[in-house]
Structure 1
């Protein structure tokens, strides 16, 4: 029997409204009430409507645990991301949540701060709550967490990143292609000394964008200089110190390729704080193409965040509806969106 504890205005627990209570109020059995609230086809529409109205008036709340025990389905999806304050993630999370709500799912959102321990905690909590599936952007060096998740056989899809050591379903953008396009674009604008502010190791997008950066340099016969590749934190508010080091240690460069638009904007702010300007003194290109209200439009690598979210939801729903064991992979194309932050050198 479904039951949920409620409280009155004084904070004291009041009696729980049960299916039997609704049955007594409407003249139906508890079984009929249960089947009406579950929208079973063998119950007349007028009966369902009468019971639903009574349930709402009486303050009835479905006990999710009891429902799961009966059906094995919770209608809950867990969304796990590294930094919800990053617009790149927040846009995707909003799209995922909207799509899943239309399919009758409730979403629970976790923020990991890109830390494996917090990610593991989010996964364990999700499994303990019997979620039907998980959409997860794995944190750096999170292979063990994903292996743990796989061992519990709850359907999941990786979003934005992948691990080459594990065959899992994922939706990512063409990170190597994006790194290549951005670097080639700067090269065609006359830049030869290009600083790459890359994300941390243990992230597929960092490794693949670096490959694209190196490939473009090689094609242009520009020597690769490891001193021009710097690793910076990708969490909001934690990257300034590393970026300052790149500005102050005397390395010569005329253009900057940033791992994300957040890193790019942080770099631009620090450059302007030093009395220099963009793109007169430095050209800057980001990655993510986040829309802002800033008067300066950032040149950026774009892949559709809504498409990535939509594909990920479709993949997960396919796993849930068809119980398919097949792992599927989507790699979305990238392109350059020109703004005001890159100028031709010379």
Structure 2
């Protein structure tokens, strides 16, 4: 008599889980809890189940490539994000396919077309500035797709973003608490959702403190060092320059700090500077940069796990907002304020 071979349905019944969970465990998915994975594997071994990976690949007819479309790899923030994504994908047995669009929607369109031709299993996209919902809609429902760091208005798909509004508000409140009343916001464009959110947090803090927003102190521009440097030149030409500036990101802040130094001014004394992201360089510039910390690699890992769940059949739309925290260093002049309170002066 022929003995019937155990099936995934048998394992699911004996383990008290669904067939899809058994499938995820056997494929080595990192999305299953360790306790559940061990129980399923032990049951499979007890029932004598043999997983045919070759046949499974043929049945799925799916590649193991996940596209990572990054808008600006020259920015260390996005490089750190890519590291977090890559770590999870490689652990799960997927091959990351990385491309940099340099904030160019046309380049992004070419990259997405190329990736689809490679029959990718999923996509993580950090949208280039100017990306419209219509640019990505043809992918929705055809490939597991997640947006990282930026939302695209009118497109309802899974996203992983930092809490931009809260971070900028907290940073501005800190500057106000230090006594600053004329605060600039430097960098980003109003057609970028991240800029809208960060500038919104900046404005909310001013309003709560009863401070009038001077629209001429909001200076838009690419998220580059040049934008920070040029903004400082413009601000210092004013009869009433600001005493502090919140920058869209750390890269813009680095440019602002460099220009202040070149003009013979001291960051933290003559003007307070705060960034956003907390890239590794932020702690090592002189003076060290006060900035809103985003756990970039953790957000990358979170994005990768979400895409893996979609690849394995989870159709839920996830909207994950990562926590942020203000890291106070010397560039905002906090240490100088404390020294003044002690009756001393100068920067340590």
Unaligned segments of structure 2, at least 5 residues: 1-49, 341-348
Correspondences of 1:49-128 after superposition (within 5 Å):
71-128=60-117
Which of 141, 145, 163 is the aligned partner of 1:156? 145
Which of 185, 196, 206 is the aligned partner of 2:174? 185
Counterpart contact for 1:80–1:136, Cα < 8 Å: yes
TM-score after normalising by structure 1? 0.76
Correspondences of 1:177-326 after superposition (within 5 Å):
177-235=166-224, 240-241=229-230, 244-248=233-237, 250=239, 252-292=241-281, 293-321=284-312, 323-326=313-316
Number of aligned positions between the proteins = 283
Counterpart contact for 1:258–1:264, Cα < 8 Å: yes
Counterpart contact for 2:225–2:256, Cα < 8 Å: no
TM-score after normalising by structure 2? 0.76
CA distance in 1 between partners of 2:142 and 2:52 (Å):
33
Which of 116, 121, 135 is the aligned partner of 1:145? 135
CA distance in 2 between partners of 1:250 and 1:119 (Å):
43
Counterpart contact for 2:186–2:228, Cα < 8 Å: no
CA distance in 2 between partners of 1:92 and 1:106 (Å):
16
Correspondences of 1:165-176 after superposition (within 5 Å):
165-176=154-165
Q: Which residue in the other structure is 1:62 paired with?
A: none
Query: Residues 144-178 of structure 1: CA distance to partner in whole angstroms, max 9, x if unpaired?
Result: 3222332x611111111112322110011111111
Change (3 A) 1:201 1:121: farther
Unaligned segments of structure 1, at least 5 residues: 1-39, 49-66
Change (3 A) 1:153 1:68: same
Q: Which residue in the other structure is 2:14 paired with?
A: none
| SS of residue in 2 equivalent to 1:157 | strand
Q: 1:295, CA displacement in angstroms? A: 4.2
CA distance in 2 between partners of 1:181 and 1:86 (Å):
23
Which of 315, 326, 330 is the aligned partner of 1:336? 326
Q: 1:122, CA displacement in angstroms? A: 1.2
Q: 1:325, CA displacement in angstroms? A: 2.5
CA distance in 2 between partners of 1:314 and 1:148 (Å):
23
User: Alignment RMSD, CA only?
Assistant: 2.4
Q: Which residue in the other structure is 2:25 paired with?
A: none
Change (3 A) 1:81 1:239: farther
